[in-house]
């Protein structure tokens, strides 16, 4: 573990999502952002949950389902922390707050994705926009040691 976040200053997306950036505790040897992205965005991905983007309260429901699946998959640790990509796509450790809404970090337009990874790099839970839906995607990196 290092005492500084991986990479440079975090992108503004954590702030948009109501996340608190934690300036320590990022593990070395984590899966790259490119690898995490590929695990979430590929033709073989099957979402754990789907919310129609046109449904009333769709963003709130997507946030609720993301949190439920992120907790179930142990992406969020006992201190409410997990990892998100920073400005240069290195991982930054963040903490959930009372104002966290991961959907706020989605860029406008279909195809946006927000990836959250467990602090140990073994699991991720993402919120994506897919055509007319929001998808919750969970992935386990099988090659990461326990």
- Lookup: tokens for 143: 């090659």
pLDDT, tens digit, for every residue of 25-49?
A: 577 789 999 999 999 998 999 999 9
pLDDT, tens digit, for every residue of 71-104?
A: 999 999 999 999 998 877 789 999 999 999 999 9
Residue percentage of the chain with pLDDT more than 90 = 65
78-82 contacts: CB < 8 A, separation 24 or more? 81/22, 81/25, 81/119, 82/116, 82/117, 82/118, 82/119
Query: Measuring CA to CA, how many Å separate 139 from each of 10, 61, 111, 133, 136?
Result: 23, 20, 18, 19, 10
**For position 54, what pLDDT does the model report?**
94
Half-sphere exposure of 100 (CA within 13 A, CB side): 19
**For position 50, what pLDDT does the model report?**
97
Number of H helices, E strands in the chain: 3, 7
pTM of the shown model: 0.85
Enclosing H/E stretch for 130? strand 123-130
């Amino acid at each position: 573990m290092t005492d500084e976040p991986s990479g440079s200053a975090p992108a503004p997306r954590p702030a948009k999502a109501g996340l608190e950036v934690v300036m320590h505790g990022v593990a070395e040897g984590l899966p790259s952002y490119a690898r995490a992205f590929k695990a979430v965005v590929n033709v073989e991905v099957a979402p754990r949950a789907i919310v129609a983007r046109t449904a009333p309260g769709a963003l709130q429901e997507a946030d609720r389902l993301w949190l439920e699946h992120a907790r179930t998959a142990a992406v969020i640790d006992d201190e409410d922390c997990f990892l998100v990509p920073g400005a240069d796509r290195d991982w930054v450790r963040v903490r959930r707050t009372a104002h966290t809404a991961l959907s706020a970090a989605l860029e406008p337009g279909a195809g946006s994705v927000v990836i959250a990874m467990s602090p140990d790099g073994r699991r991720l839970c993402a919120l994506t926009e897919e055509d007319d839906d929001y998808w919750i995607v969970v992935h386990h990196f099988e090659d990461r040691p326990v």
